[in-house]
A = this chain, B = another copy of it.
């Protein structure tokens, strides 16, 4: 017996095409792209925030727990910094890690103006951003925000993301964040379309995807949360052929996940080996990787009192790069199945290179990370993308990386790459980014701009 009901097409054709049209629209209906940096500057001056490093003893409400040495807030809210013990065959280490089990919402509102999707972006201050104010999603909310478990101030526009009609949702996927610094963190990456009027104040602007892509070519303008949400959105398929079939890619990925025998256990921060706690930092004796430090934040806006918090500070600018080649007319990037101790499940697809290079600078070429030299030594005419972006400014202080897409060749990056690496098309990466835990946050930043780099490459 068949009941009558309104069925819909399984494939919602049109979403990717509408996003592509917005990406191709360089001029928005509301603000010129060239005015966005001025607008961000204006907010930078208006909020007048001052971020100071302070010793741990001056943190308000934050302290090291007497038993474990874990750093935590007296209310039990926000996050903790604990220890992590990671073991895998041939390697073992301990490190501090941020534990924040809540699933937050990173949400961007979308609306059509003149037939083109625009995205509501926010000029948002985060204390860890090197320039404090960057272009951010409409909403960045923790679960405590949206369930109001702890009271707290209203998050603007949050209501659009709490229970949206399913056919107004253009993207909604849980994505991992930095597995080297976060323990199993994941956030909900959403784009939700609205029709009606959306009242704005001066901290919000509607931009086309084309405008945001242009701004992604400038250092430290588009924040990490905006980049990951945009990378999660569906792209128009970029072709039906690739070096590996989709099922071959999944087979390879399953094999990579299965062959890495990684175990990570939380442990007391005070007991981790190789790290020492001083008055103003938890750092490695050899100075590598990152430090846990404390900052005070003053003048963060009229509505918010100052605060202080612990924050993670990498010791130098990172290098994050995809090797890029065109095979038989089809663009590919070289993905790396990368282990990070904080991942929920062993490996995710990362860029070809992702490291802090001075950690390896004293090493002879054979012991440096694979492909690092191919990325760093590329001649300028082969660098298709090179921009400095910083990571989440609420948890990471001046965590800048140079993001690169570099055209390489058979000599440096062979068609048959070594174990742990596979050539994939941007379309395959976008397909996987539609599901959780395939594509890591650094690869998602590069995925967000890959389309602008590869467009027209098919003629190559």
Residue pair A460, B1 in contact (C-beta under 8 Å): yes
Residue pair B243, A5 in contact (C-beta under 8 Å): yes
Residue pair A103, B328 in contact (C-beta under 8 Å): no
Could you say which of A246, A258, A327, A428 has the most chain B C-beta atoms within 10 Å of its C-beta? A258
Contact with B along A223-256 (1 / 0, CB 8 A): 0000000000010000111111111101110110
Residue pair B254, A173 in contact (C-beta under 8 Å): yes
* A304 sits at the interface (CB 8 A): no
Closest to A458 in B: B2
* A9 sits at the interface (CB 8 A): yes
Residue pair B8, A243 in contact (C-beta under 8 Å): yes
Residue pair A246, B12 in contact (C-beta under 8 Å): yes
> A3: which of B174, B254, B327 is its contact (CB, 8 Å)?
B327
Residues from chain B with a CB closer than 8 A to the CB of A250 are 172-173, 434-435
Residue pair A3, B172 in contact (C-beta under 8 Å): no
Residue pair B2, A329 in contact (C-beta under 8 Å): yes
Residue pair B5, A240 in contact (C-beta under 8 Å): no
Closest 6 CB pairs of A and B: A5-B327, A7-B241, A166-B248, A172-B251, A2-B326, A2-B460
Residue pair B5, A248 in contact (C-beta under 8 Å): no
Residues from chain B with a CB closer than 8 A to the CB of A143 are 261
* A344 sits at the interface (CB 8 A): yes
Residue pair A188, B254 in contact (C-beta under 8 Å): yes
* A263 sits at the interface (CB 8 A): yes
> Among residues 154 to 182 in chain A, which have CB atoms less than 8 Å away from a CB atom of chain B?
164, 166-167, 169, 172-174
Q: How far is the CA of A174 from the CA of B346 in the complex (A)?
A: 12
* A410 sits at the interface (CB 8 A): yes
Q: How far is the CA of A327 from the CA of B4 in the complex (A)?
A: 6
Residue pair B7, A263 in contact (C-beta under 8 Å): no
Q: How far is the CA of A246 from the CA of B435 in the complex (A)?
A: 12
Knowing A3-B415, A172-B255, A326-B1 are in contact, say whether A11-B166 is a contact too (CB < 8 A). no
Could you say which of A10, A242, A247 has the most chain B C-beta atoms within 10 Å of its C-beta? A10
Residues from chain B with a CB closer than 8 A to the CB of A327 are 2-5, 7
Closest to A266 in B: B265
If A5-B327, A9-B241, A103-B257 are given as contacts, then 17 extra A-B residue pairs at C-beta distance below 8 Å, sorted by A number, are: A2-B327, A3-B327, A3-B415, A7-B243, A8-B241, A8-B244, A8-B245, A10-B241, A10-B425, A11-B240, A11-B246, A12-B248, A15-B247, A169-B247, A169-B248, A172-B255, A344-B345
